[in-house]
Amino acid sequence: QVQLVQSGAEVKKSGASVKVSCKASGYTLSFYDINWVRQASGQGLEWMGWMNPTTGKSGSTQRFEGRLTLTRDTATGTAYMELDSLRSDDTAVYFCARGRWLTPGHYSFDVWGQGSTVTVSS
């Protein structure tokens, strides 16, 4: 069964960093991109960034540049999202999602992790 399994909930102080893991199961991590999406309570989905696990190349939306680091460990099939200088408005559920070209030229997120809750307190 293809799935992405994420790490558990985290509580952090403002200014700290958080690192969330996303382990691929039922397929090889390197074969497809991993995207990161977050959702504040009662709010919509916000795309944060992506990573190609084969090359390690990554990108993120401008909002997170300088604070977001996306990495992977191909030996264990695990992707990581690290967010620095946490603020209260970073409190959210963070999802990893597999990015695939399901239709030639068309990219979508076909497998999602269960989500990891990050709470930032002052």
Partner 1 sequence: DIQMTQSPSSLSASVGDRVTVTCRASQNISTYLNWYQQKPGKAPSLLIHAVSSLQTGVPSRFRGGGSATEFTLTISSLQPDDFATYYCQQSYLIPRTFGQGTKVEI
Adjacent-strand bridge partners of 72: 79
- Please tell me what DSSP assigns to residue 113: B
53 Cβ contact list (under 8 Å, min separation 6): 29, 30, 32, 33, 34, 72, 74, 79
From candidates 58, 59, 75, 83, binder to partner 1 by CB under 8 A: 59
**By CB under 8 A, residue 25 contacts partner 1:** no
Residue count (the chain):
122
Stretch that binds partner 1, among 15-23, 65-73, 77-85, 112-120 (CB under 8 A): 112-120
From candidates 13, 44, 55, 75, binder to partner 1 by CB under 8 A: 44
Q: Is 71 helix (H, G, I), strand (E, B) or coil?
A: strand
Stretch that binds partner 1, among 11-19, 20-28, 42-50, 81-89 (CB under 8 A): 42-50
From candidates 107, 119, 120, 122, binder to partner 1 by CB under 8 A: 107
Contact 96, 112 (CB under 8 A): yes
Q: Return the amino acid letter for 97.
A: A
**By CB under 8 A, residue 32 contacts partner 1:** no
What is the contact surface with partner 1 in residues (CB under 8 A)? Answer: 35, 37, 44-47, 50, 59, 61, 95, 97, 102-103, 105-110, 112-115
